[in-house]
């Protein structure tokens, strides 16, 4: 077996050194009834690289990739171009095959990139500090709700009607287990400001999203003001990090905590994971943050270096009193994010944002030209919702038959909420003029 260096002679020699007759002796504590005679039944034996690769390639071939043709699916994950350099960097053995940087003397590579990542995320969100990442945007959102409850010592969380339903669901799961009340405002394309009305003296935080799941961008400043008046926090969410190159970032709107999905920068779609959850907040809340933090310090010779810090918040020290049970971060995905962001720089990043916005504007213009289409999203970045005079699921299926993956039917996210005729579509820098034309032409044909 190619991954096992021991030879039969090695095993024999080692057993002799130990003084054991066979490896069975090491398993003597396993209850008699639970000992398997041979190998586990029902599974094949080992195979060579060629055979395994063929099997996996066979599965891969059954999927339609986002690059194969016109593709407009968004809703929390976005098809962007990732520079070749990024994948090269994250495949460096020293990054790929190392562990959490618990021994800083031999982990400065990981630690410095985490420090740079935290700095980039803080800049991006216009917040004071950021952590070294969470699993993804949705779990970051859930952790933000818990953090707000710790900070305010209150037990009520209000979710906007434009918060991604998966984020809302993940947050509800975590909160309800701890007896935290969740108030979910009714779904709405342009209702983020309704959070202002919902905040009261028991509210720990309100959670709003911009751009929201329907693509609507909203200045949440009035929500922040309303929340702060009641001594509650504003958690500001985004699922498309590229939007922050143009749209108002959480820090400019008075958010206390900013969370979002970082997949768009440096990370492929991967059918939903692994992604990278971004988490930032104001400096005064820093010690209540969940997850890993990297900080600056010096070594015994006075040289600048970086270490994991404030670990007294964390489960391995605090156990049942920790701020979170989280034990990992998104590791390599943060590196992909950070390396891509370094290649972009402010210049490339804002440029990229502009290309995304323009592609979406062009798409909206083209679809508005299709008979019966009504754009529902009043202000958007690279994604919007629109209504068609037909069932969205059936239309998307027909579009698929014409080679166009036209977006997400809103009813998939909101079953039974009267959104059967709504499609949410996204465009990015990967969307070409030809893709947009193909969509408009195909939709015209399907709706005719």
What residues from 53 to 92 belong to the interface with other proteins (CB under 8 A)?
53, 55-67, 71, 73-77, 79, 83, 85, 87-92
Nearer CB in complex with other proteins: 57/201 = 57
Residue among 29, 153, 201, 448 that touches other proteins (CB under 8 A): 29
Residue 229 token pair: 């008046």
Task: State CA 79 to chain mean position distance.
Answer: 13
Hey, how many other C-beta atoms are within 10 angstroms of the C-beta on 119?
14
What is the number of alpha carbons within 13 Å of residue 267 lying toward its C-beta? 29
* # residues near other proteins by CB under 8 A: 210
| By CB under 8 A, residue 44 contacts other proteins | yes
Is residue 434 at the binding interface for other proteins, with CB under 8 A as the rule?
Answer: no
Position 368 contacts other proteins (CB under 8 A): no
| Residue range at the interface with other proteins (CB under 8 A); choices 195-203, 223-231, 350-358, 366-374 | 350-358
Q: Taking Cα atoms as reference points, which of 439, 372, 339, 443 lies closest to residue 72?
A: 439
Tell me the closest approach of the beta carbon of residue 346 to other proteins, in angstroms.
4
Q: How far is the CB of 206 from other proteins (least distance, A)?
A: 18
The token pair at 395 is 């239309």
Piece of the chain touching other proteins by CB under 8 A; list 19-27, 151-159, 227-235, 436-444: 19-27
Task: Please identify, using beta-carbon distances, which residue of 105 and 197 lies nearer to other proteins.
Answer: 105
DSSP secondary structure string, 310-359?
A: -GGGSHHHHGGG-S-------THHHHHHHHHHHHHHHHHHHHHHHHHHHH
The interface with other proteins within residues 293-322 (CB under 8 A) comprises 293-301, 303, 305-307, 309-312, 314-322
Grouping H, G, I as helix, E, B as strand and the rest as coil, residue 401 is helix
Minimal distance in Å, beta carbon 114 to other proteins? 8
Question: Are 253 and 127 within 8 A, CB to CB?
Answer: no
Q: Is 34 in the site for other proteins (CB under 8 A)?
A: yes
- Looking up tokens 């068609």 gives 388
What's the rounded Cα separation, in Å, for the pair 141 and 175?
11
Is 386 a binding residue for other proteins by CB under 8 A? The answer is: no
Q: Find out whether 278 and 258 touch, Cβ atoms under 8 Å.
A: yes
If one asks whether residue 21 binds other proteins (CB under 8 A), the answer comes out as no
- Which C-beta is closer to other proteins: that of 230 or that of 246? 246
Q: How far apart are the first and last CA of the chain?
A: 60
Answer yes or no whether residue 169 interacts with other proteins by CB under 8 A: yes
284 touching other proteins, by CB under 8 A: no
Alpha carbons 240 and 265: distance in angstroms, whole number: 9
Of 148-156, 199-207, 400-408, 434-442: span binding other proteins (CB under 8 A): 400-408
């Amino acid at each position: 077996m190619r991954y096992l260096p021991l030879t039969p002679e090695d095993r024999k020699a080692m057993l002799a050194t130990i003084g054991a007759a066979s490896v069975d002796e090491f398993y003597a504590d396993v209850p008699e009834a639970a000992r398997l005679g041979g190998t586990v039944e029902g599974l094949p034996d080992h195979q060579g690289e060629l055979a395994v690769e063929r099997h996996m390639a066979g599965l891969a071939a059954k999927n339609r990739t986002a690059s194969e043709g016109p593709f407009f699916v968004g809703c929390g994950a976005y098809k962007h171009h990732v520079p070749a350099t990024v994948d090269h960097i994250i495949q460096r053995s020293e990054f790929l095959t190392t562990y959490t940087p618990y021994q800083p003397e031999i982990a400065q590579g990981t630690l410095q990139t985490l420090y740079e990542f935290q700095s980039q995320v803080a800049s991006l969100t216009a917040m004071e500090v950021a952590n070294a990442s969470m699993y993804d945007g949705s779990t970051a959102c859930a952790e933000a709700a818990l953090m707000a409850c710790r900070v305010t010592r209150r037990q009520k969380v209000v979710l906007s009607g434009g918060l991604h339903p998966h984020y809302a669901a993940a947050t509800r799961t975590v909160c309800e287990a701890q007896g935290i009340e969740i108030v979910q405002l009714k779904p709405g394309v342009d209702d983020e400001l309704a959070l202002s009305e919902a905040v009261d003296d028991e509210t720990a935080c309100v959670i709003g999203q911009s751009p929201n799941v329907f693509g609507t961008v909203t200045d949440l400043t009035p929500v922040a003001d309303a929340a702060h008046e009641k001594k509650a926090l504003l958690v500001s969410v985004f699922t498309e990090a590229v939007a922050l190159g143009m749209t108002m970032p959480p820090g400019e709107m008075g958010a206390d905590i900013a969370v979002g999905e970082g997949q768009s920068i440096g990370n492929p779609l991967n059918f939903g994971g692994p992604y990278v959850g971004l988490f930032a907040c104001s400096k005064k809340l820093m010690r209540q943050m969940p997850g890993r933090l990297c900080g600056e310090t010096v070594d015994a010779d006075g040289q600048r270096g970086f270490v994991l810090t404030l670990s007294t918040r964390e489960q391995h020290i605090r156990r049942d009193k920790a701020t979170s049970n989280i034990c990992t971060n998104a590791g390599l995905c943060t590196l992909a994010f950070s390396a891509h962001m370094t290649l972009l720089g402010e210049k490339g990043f804002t440029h990229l944002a502009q290309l995304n916005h323009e592609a979406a504007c062009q798409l909206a213009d083209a679809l508005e030209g299709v008979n019966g289409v009504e754009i529902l999203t009043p202000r958007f970045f690279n994604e919007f919702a629109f209504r068609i005079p037909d069932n969205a699921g059936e239309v998307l299926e027909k579009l698929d038959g014409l080679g166009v993956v036209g977006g997400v039917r809103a009813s998939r996210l909101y079953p039974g909420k009267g959104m059967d005729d709504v499609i949410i579509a996204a465009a990015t820098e990967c969307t070409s003029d030809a893709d947009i034309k193909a969509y408009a032409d195909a939709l015209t044909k399907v709706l005719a």
